[in-house]
Homo-oligomer: A and B are copies of this chain.
């Protein structure tokens, strides 16, 4: 239920208005469903605010998130809310001309672009979908990511999704939600369904 009451008022010298525009780093992690889905739900709010949104999908499959992608693209093109840029590692990042050679290299190129966009304040909301995996696997240096995110200019919000979020990323986050799997149809032998799983 909408309450919106902080549990404490900080002694940080900031006004409520200043605190209201603080940039948020959110991490959705855990083994349950809804990590990415909730991030794209958050993108609906950002879109409604007229914010430019950048989605970076750090997954191999270009077919993943087709529903969310189409919806956000239609919304971004509607002219009613913010614009949406959708970047997919799975079909080759648009700014990379040559073949990246490996998923590890491709993931690094994705992060390099996120860095550039953060420095240029290209977007107001960044959805770094499944970004925890290249961190977890050591393909991208978590300390560097935390340092860059910590120092990002302006009021840029970042949502990172995926299992196995490194502790240093969790420590740096303002908002951490863990999605726990209580019950899943696949446990009962069901397969993924269109409209539900993708």
Interface residues of A (CB under 8 A from B): 1-2, 4-10, 12, 16, 19-22, 24, 26, 28, 30, 32-42, 44-49, 51, 59, 61, 64, 66-68, 70-72, 74-75, 78, 80-81, 124-125, 130, 133, 157, 170, 173-198
Write out the residue numbers on chain B whose beta carbons fall within 8 Å of the beta carbon of A192.
Answer: 4, 20
Query: 6 closest Cβ contacts across the A-B interface?
Result: A37-B41, A48-B67, A34-B38, A45-B67, A10-B189, A176-B182
18 contacts between A and B (CB under 8 A): A9-B189, A10-B189, A19-B191, A22-B190, A32-B178, A34-B35, A37-B38, A40-B41, A45-B194, A45-B195, A48-B70, A49-B195, A74-B75, A78-B78, A174-B183, A174-B190, A176-B183, A179-B179
This chain: copies in complex: 2
> Bound complex: CA of A193 vs CA of B21, how far in Å?
7
